[in-house]
A and B are shown apart, each in its own frame.
Chain A
């Protein structure tokens, strides 16, 4: 039994190290762009437009949007890391190296998700550093912040893997980011409090899962949120469980990777 655990730990470590090396080797494409994007967000929304906007929930506009912007970067990069890595492995067929080996599906899933989470954390840290150039950050509840960041990158790493499993071309890997992730992020309360919306749109916003993540993040940093914290974490937990189980079933059945 300990041999089994030991072997799987070695396999897991192999996948994670490979994944981290992959995105650090191409850092110009993977970690530099978010730094630039963030700087632009801060210049435009924070300094230029933000200075015209009155305080939101008692914070200056730039301070109000920082948590959501950091989280958006984490979301898109965790997702992008796994979807492109796993799709690449499928396309070039080297996913077969894993499939012929005794590595169980849950180890494969965990490995890719940890890789995506690492990318999320690296990008999140870089974006945070960039934001420090524009404002000073407060962290009211560090544990909430860490929990939210981790859960978010896990959720979107798993989602990236699911997308890769179903993707049949390189175009397919940008469908979900373009048509689902970006709109939901913009409508997920990154740039405003939903209290500003009419009642009807407030209710509609509650259907957007990203709203819960952004508000948990904001609670971690600023101590304010439109959503009850436990609700946010409950929703995150449900997403991790449901998506994780689904991804595991896909891998176990070999959907999209075995003919």
Chain B
């Protein structure tokens, strides 16, 4: 299978001298659902900006589906749909017109673009708003408008730069389902987000970028397997006073009815539960103290920064 994205040696130094990308190599397979993660200012949007011809690169090469962006810009651009981080439509233009006109820029005739815009607006729950000006939309609706706009030419690769920022949970879920569907139908997806559980549940492969460099580029499964110790929070009923230490369990009493416990990846939790039962303690519920990907993410970034306490984010 060919690669949807092949980036090599990508560098970007902005006009003010800031080196935003310091030689980024990135490969995304066709059909993948790919997460590009990194802290604020890491270079995610810069990378996406270069792929989508909005930012001029200083060095490097961008291939989409094997075609060079420099050599065949028009062909490459029509393979790509982008949902940028910042709103970039004319707020004084009616919603449906924005999508139809975008189709026009891709050479899609008005009549055909109208049909496509109708389908997309309905899918994204914006059909009722089609006649209003874009500025009348709420923040979440504006994001969905940009998703609809990015899909009008049926791109083979869709890049979403924080599509769910500021979107309520219901719409966020609906957006995930929508994007998952598109991916199932064959569209390659690249997603940036600061909601790591979103990346964990959606994406199969992942790259983490920090200070303009890729510090991790692997399969999500492989990365998550590196979490060899997880911390659980247990909400209990019954006195915790008589509970001593439990072998192989690093147990901490948080308050009268809350326990925290570290469990190794290979370790069973049965011993812990048996001991709690002996002491007459009922476990009402339990949860992960933090998201696994979040733990990994923080520890990877911390490794990069000498002087930052590593033990805080134990992996």
Contact = CB atoms under 8 A, between A and B. Distances in A.
A258 B56 contact: yes
Contacts of A96: 54, 84, 88
B107 A8 contact: yes
Given A258-B54, A259-B14, A259-B15, A101 B88 contact: no
Given A14-B101, A93-B88, A101-B77, A7 B106 contact: yes
Interface in A1-58: 3-4, 6-8, 10-11, 13-15, 18
Contacts of B80: 100
Contacts of A254: 56
A171 interface: no
Contacts of A98: 105
Interface string A181-225: 000000000000000000000000000000000000000000000
Nearest to A97: B102
B193 interface: no
Given A10-B104, A11-B104, A104-B74, A99 B53 contact: yes
A88 B101 CA distance: 17
Interface string A144-177: 0000000000000000000000000000000000
Chain A: interface residue count, which band? Answer: 20 to 34
B154 to A, nearest CB: 14
A8 B56 CA distance: 24
B107 A11 contact: yes
A107 to B, nearest CB: 9
Nearest to B104: A14
Contacts of B108: 10
A258 B77 CA distance: 16
B101 A18 contact: yes
A92 interface: yes
A102 B89 contact: no
A98 B105 CA distance: 6
Interface string A107-142: 000000000000000000000000000000000000
A94 B89 contact: yes
B82 interface: yes
A89 B77 CA distance: 20
Nearest to B106: A101
A100 B82 contact: yes
Contacts of B87: 93
Nearest to B109: A10
B105 A93 contact: no
A84 interface: no
A99 B54 contact: yes
Residue in B15, B54, B93 whose Cβ sees the most chain A Cβ within 10 Å: B54
Contacts of B49: 259
B218 interface: no
A102 B107 contact: yes
A254 B78 CA distance: 19
Contacts of B110: 10, 14
Given A7-B106, A11-B107, A97-B102, A102 B88 contact: no
Contacts of B224: none
B91 interface: yes
B205 interface: no
A95 to B, nearest CB: 8
Contacts of B188: none
B146 to A, nearest CB: 10
Contacts of B101: 14, 18, 97
Residue in B14, B52, B74, B108 whose Cβ sees the most chain A Cβ within 10 Å: B74
A128 B56 CA distance: 46
B59 interface: no
Interface string B72-94: 01110110101010111111010
A12 B52 CA distance: 21
B55 interface: yes
B53 A100 contact: yes
Nearest to A26: B92
Contact of A100 (B14, B54, B86): B54
Interface string B266-301: 000000000000000000000000000000000000
B54 A102 contact: no
Contacts of B98: 97
B54 A92 contact: no
Nearest to B52: A100
A103 interface: yes
A59 to B, nearest CB: 45
5 contacts: A10-B109, A97-B102, A99-B53, A100-B54, A258-B56
Q: Ordered nearest first, which 7 A-B pairs have the shortest CB separation?
A: A7-B107, A14-B104, A101-B105, A102-B74, A93-B88, A102-B77, A94-B90
Given A97-B149, A102-B106, A258-B54, 5 more contacts: A4-B74, A93-B88, A96-B88, A102-B73, A102-B75
